[in-house]
């Protein structure tokens, strides 16, 4: 069974990386990250905080759309084209199929999230040019530019000579080279000297990104659930609706949970995405306790387990022939 599960997950991961929309969303998110410092400079005294909030918002929204389109491409498209009948005709059970699809999408989404997070870290390292006397951090510019140039050059070579898929190869190489860029920036300060103690990276940004990744995992599970029953447009609509409702779950359900049964049920069923959004900490404490991260991880695992159980039960009765 594990071999079949691995085969489904591996194929899903590769096919997700090859989806054009997957790469388009990543490129658009990276472009927005590039624009964030310019947008943030028009605040008064909260430039770096605004930069963090805009960067994390971009990361969150990119994760939402990647999760939805990856899930619909992996499941709904196979159902609508009839490809799934060939897969299920082999000794692959429906639970293994659903779980393999989920973890394959999770792997691709994680790669995209790490790539965009590294761009976010570079942006926060560069900061905002608040005054005319502020200087550009050329170490960040060189690291990011070198990563992009190396990615495009090697990807084009491998695509032309060996016919490797341009989108999938580009995403993986970009993640690799941006990783090298982050390592370079960890040890080299803006004066081009070896100074790891003053690399200007904040643990807050990394933990905030991890929390958002947990939220994206929840959205992937929901997208997989919806994809087992409805088409791409309705899946996108439902996921966006749950996303918006999850951000205001405390206000819609939480404040009435002690007095009304419907509110208590709604607060349980609706994913509380506010748990993963740390914008308040940006403007107040600026820290995230480790205990909070553990709480969010536990909530994510339990909620995903419940959603996947419903998805498997729903898909068991789905007519795919």
Place of tokens 């996303």: 243
Q: At what angle do helices 20-40 and 94-126 cross, to 10 degrees?
A: 30
* Residue 81 and residue 237 in contact, taking contact as beta carbons nearer than 8 Å: no
> Which range, of 63-67, 70-74, 149-153, averages the lowest pLDDT?
70-74
Spatial separation of the C-alpha atoms in residues 247 and 244, rounded to whole Å: 5
Place of tokens 């927005």: 32
Q: Compute the average pLDDT of residues 201-227.
A: 91
| 249-298 residue pLDDT tens | 888 887 787 788 888 888 888 888 888 987 666 655 567 788 889 999 99
Domain count, the chain: 1
Residue 95 lies in a domain: yes
CB neighbours of 215 closer than 8 A, spacing ≥ 6? 60, 63, 271, 273, 276, 277, 300
Residue 247 lies in a domain: yes
Residues of the chain with pLDDT > 90, as a percent, come to 44
* Residue 143 and residue 122 in contact, taking contact as beta carbons nearer than 8 Å: yes
Residue 73 lies in a domain: yes
CB atoms within 10 A of CB 132: 5
| 156-173 residue pLDDT tens | 999 999 999 999 999 999
Residue 60 lies in a domain: yes
Spatial separation of the C-alpha atoms in residues 43 and 49, rounded to whole Å: 10
Containing 289, the helix (H) or strand (E) segment is: none
Instruction: Return the structure tokens found at 262.
Output: 């419907």
Residue 202 lies in a domain: yes
Average pLDDT along the chain: 86
Q: Which of helix, strand or coil describes residue 194? A: strand
Which residues span the domain enclosing 147? Answer: 2-316
| 127-154 residue pLDDT tens | 887 665 677 889 999 999 999 999 999 9
Determine the pLDDT at residue 178. 97
Phi and psi at residue 11, to the nearest 5°: -65, -40
**Angle CA(45)–CA(48)–CA(54) in degrees, nearest 5?**
115
């Amino acid at each position: 069974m594990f071999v079949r599960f691995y085969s489904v997950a591996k194929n899903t991961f590769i096919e997700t990386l090859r989806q054009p929309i997957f790469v388009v969303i990543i490129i658009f998110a990276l472009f927005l990250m590039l624009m964030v410092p310019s947008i943030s400079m028009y605040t008064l005294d909260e430039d770096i905080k605004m930069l963090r909030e805009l960067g994390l918002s971009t990361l969150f929204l990119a994760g939402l759309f990647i999760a939805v389109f990856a899930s619909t491409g992996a499941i709904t498209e196979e159902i609508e084209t009839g490809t799934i009948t060939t897969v299920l005709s082999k000794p692959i059970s429906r639970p293994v199929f659903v779980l393999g699809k989920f973890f394959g999408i999770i792997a691709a989404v994680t790669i995209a999230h790490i790539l965009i997070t590294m761009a976010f870290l570079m942006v926060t390292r560069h900061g905002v040019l608040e005054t005319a006397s502020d200087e550009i951090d050329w170490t960040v510019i060189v690291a990011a530019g070198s990563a992009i140039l190396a990615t495009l050059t090697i990807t084009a070579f491998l695509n032309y000579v060996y016919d490797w898929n341009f989108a999938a190869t580009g995403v993986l190489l970009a993640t690799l080279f941006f990783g090298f860029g982050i390592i370079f920036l960890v040890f080299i300060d803006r004066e081009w000297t070896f100074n790891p103690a003053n690399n200007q990276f904040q643990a807050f940004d990394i933990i905030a990104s991890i929390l958002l990744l947990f939220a994206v995992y929840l959205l992937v599970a929901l997208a997989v659930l919806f994809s087992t029953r409805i088409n791409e447009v309705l899946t996108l609509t439902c996921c966006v609706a749950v996303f918006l409702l999850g951000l205001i779950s405390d206000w819609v359900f939480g404040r009435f949970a002690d007095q009304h049964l419907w509110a208590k049920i709604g607060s349980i069923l609706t994913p509380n995405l506010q748990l993963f959004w740390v914008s308040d900490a940006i403007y107040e404490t600026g820290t995230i306790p480790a205990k909070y991260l553990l709480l969010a991880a536990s909530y994510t695992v339990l909620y995903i387990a419940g959603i996947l159980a419903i998805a498997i039960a729903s898909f068991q009765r789905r007519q795919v022939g």
